[in-house]
Amino acid sequence: MESGGDRVLRSRCQAIPKMPTFPDLDNSLDGECNQKQHQQGNGGNHVSSNGKIEVEHVISKKLQLKRKAEYLKSDLMHQFDSQVNDFMDSLIEESASLEPALVPAVFSPPLSDKERSKLGSFRPPHGQGKLFVSRRSLLDELFEVNHIRTIYHMFIALLILFILSTLVVDVIDEGRLVLHFDLLVYAFGQFPLVVCTWICMFLSVLLVPYTLFRLWSQTQSGSCSHPRLCSVLFGSAFLLYQALGVGFLPTYVVVTNSFPPASCFIIILEQVRLMMKAHSFVRENVPRVLTWAKEKTSPRPVVPQVSQYIYFLFAPTLIYRDKYPRNPVIRWGYVATKLLQVLGCLFYAYYVFVRLCIPQFHSIRVLILFLGFFAFLHCWLNAFAEMLCFADRMFYKDWWNSTSFANYYRTWNVVVHDWLYYYVYRDLLLMSQRRFRPVAMLLVFTVSAVVHEYILAICFGFFYPVLFCLFMCFGMMFNFILHDQRKGPIWNIIMWTSLFLGQGVIICLYSQEWYAQSYCPLKEPSFLELLKPRSWSCQRGLTADSDRP
């Protein structure tokens, strides 16, 4: 007759999972099961003298089973979480590319005509293009996880330590608190002129492109006897305005007034942003008017309202749409938090340079760098998005998890990547009937490298094409070597190592050139001397001077 302990042991032996395998544990349990079954075949006379299993043996086996169950649970949950995340990501991407009519009714009730019209307004005015959907920024979701939020708190603690260390050093060295911010005052110098320049630039972008487009659309409705000639004239006027009105004049103001670095960045970055927005507005609406001119589906072409254009100029996107997904309310507390975080990043950069960089260069001024990603792509864009009720907050993706540079380029700055993809890469493929894909990719890298180098050259006041060379040489090379088929942690490590090296080279070389330009100015430089990096000769001069008695 089988005892209760035998039945429990038999059921336990039969219920042991087969994956993952633990050779020592499996052999132990299998041996025990075979031993018990052999004992049962002999009448069960060899269990123990009193018919009970020893307590220590049972506890040992229970602990082994518990460890195996915990491992199985962890492994299954990890696989399940990974598969669910992949499934949801692919589902979101696929659903974003589907027409509303193709969504099965099993997921949601049928859409009304009003809802279909509202959803369709988020689509591009013509053909295929970026579809805006309501979604949160990735860091906002990650900060809800306690472990990630703790890392954010650690950075805040470091900022507090920087401030306290600065105050303590001032008290020890000066005998009092020295609360001056000469570096920030210098970097944001001539701020009233900066504001006036930005207002003039913004008003011109508000009036000129919209007026030119509206007048051109009227020529397509029959007011012009030669529509193609009118298109050429208005197109030439728009390009001339882009080159002179937005391109040359702000740069001339910056150079002639010798704006300091931060003030230069404000004007030049806004110049590039407004040029890209004006191009997007014209690029997205011209095909719609041309389609109307062929089909004549309405009495006159559909021209966006001024309010729609103004909203687009402030919206945190470079892709024009008549309407965007909107949030119902503005969370002013959220806006205040993001603006305070931008201010915190500014002071963070200030204290890093004051405590770590300036002591290394006593006789020269310092180059300000900003905590660009968090301050701008997350805090600044989210603050404006919240004030405008702009619901699509995918300004970046999880670029830190990239295992390839191709994925890093797509996820680091989604706002700029979308513009380059739709208006440079895809438009060139459409014009060439998809025959010059490598040329289109090369053009994207070239445009990005030229614009980045232009911004740095104007803001720093010298030409030193380090970033351009890194973009065109190493950037292109890594884009093909570290491609999307590279998976696994080792490739993420390689990508981060390359980023650290690249950022270190950029900071060191541009900083040296900045110091050399200030320490070794040329009285009457020739054109070739302006192109030659000053740090190459200034370093030798400094060494020679230091050797003199």
Which residue type sits at 197?
Answer: T
Longest dimension (CA), the chain: 113
CB 406 within 8 A of CB 445: no
| DSSP bridge pairs for 48 | none
The answer to whether residues 261 and 187 touch, using CB atoms and an 8 Å cutoff, is: yes
CB atoms inside a 10 Å sphere around CB 487:
10
Q: What is the pLDDT of residue 367?
A: 40
The answer to whether residue 191 sits within a structural domain is: no
Domain assignment of residue 462, yes or no: yes
Neighbouring C-beta atoms of residue 27, cutoff 10 Å: 10
Give me the amino acid identity at 356: L
**Residue 266, token pair as written in the block:** 């404000």
The answer to whether residue 46 is domain-embedded is: no
Q: Quick count: other Cβ atoms within 10 Å of Cβ 460?
A: 17
CA distance 22 to 428: 57
Q: Is residue 276 part of a domain?
A: no
Average pLDDT of the chain? 74
Does any domain span residue 368?
no
Q: State how far the Cα of 361 lies from the Cα of 351, in Å rounded to an integer.
A: 15
**Total domains present in the chain:** 1
Alpha helices in 241-376 (DSSP H): 249-256, 261-295, 306-314, 332-352, 372
Q: Give the mean pLDDT of 490-506.
A: 81
Average pLDDT score over residue span 141-148: 82
Query: In this model, does residue 128 exceed pLDDT 50?
Result: yes
pLDDT digits (tens, 9 = 90+) for 351-360: 777 666 655 5
- Domain residues for the domain of 449 are 399-522
Q: Please say whether the dihedral angle defined by the alpha carbons of residues 180, 183, 187 and 193, taken in this order, is positive or negative.
A: positive
Query: Is residue 268 within 8 Å of 251, Cβ to Cβ?
Result: yes
For 246, the token pair is: 């937005």
Alpha-carbon torsion (415, 420, 423, 426), positive or negative:
negative
pLDDT recorded at residue 98: 44
Is it the case that residue 17 has pLDDT exceeding 50?
A: no
DSSP code, position 194:
H
pLDDT at 19 over 50: no
In 3-state terms the chain splits into helix, strand, coil percentages (rounded to 5) of 70, 0, 30
Cα gap 342→371, rounded to integer Å:
9
Position 4 scores a pLDDT of 47
Report the pLDDT averaged over residues 31-48. Answer: 45
Residue 89: per-residue pLDDT: 55
**Residue 501 forms beta bridges with which residues?**
none
**Active-site choice (57, 78, 452, 483):** 452
Residue 53: alpha-carbon gap to chain centroid = 62
Amino acid at site 521:
P
Distance from C-alpha of 530 to C-alpha of 170, rounded to nearest angstrom: 40
> Does 417 qualify as catalytic in the annotation?
no
395 residue type, one letter: F
Residue 213 lies in a domain: no
| pLDDT average, residue stretch 184-199 | 88
Share of the chain above pLDDT 70, in %: 71
pLDDT digits (tens, 9 = 90+) for 228-269: 888 889 999 999 999 999 999 999 999 899 888 889 999 999
On whether the CB atoms of residues 130 and 418 are closer than 8 A, the answer is yes
Average pLDDT estimate for 210-223: 85
Contacts of 271 (CB under 8 A, 6+ apart): 201, 246, 247, 250, 251
Q: Is the dihedral of CA 242, 246, 249, 252 positive or negative?
A: negative
Looking at 93-179, which runs of residues are DSSP E strands?
none
In a domain, 511, yes or no: yes
Q: Give the mean model confidence (pLDDT) for residues 173-184.
A: 71
> Which tokens is 497 given?
């190592």
Taking only the tens place, the pLDDT of each residue in 532-541 is 787 777 754 4
315: in domain = no
Enter the tokens of residue 12. 């336990």
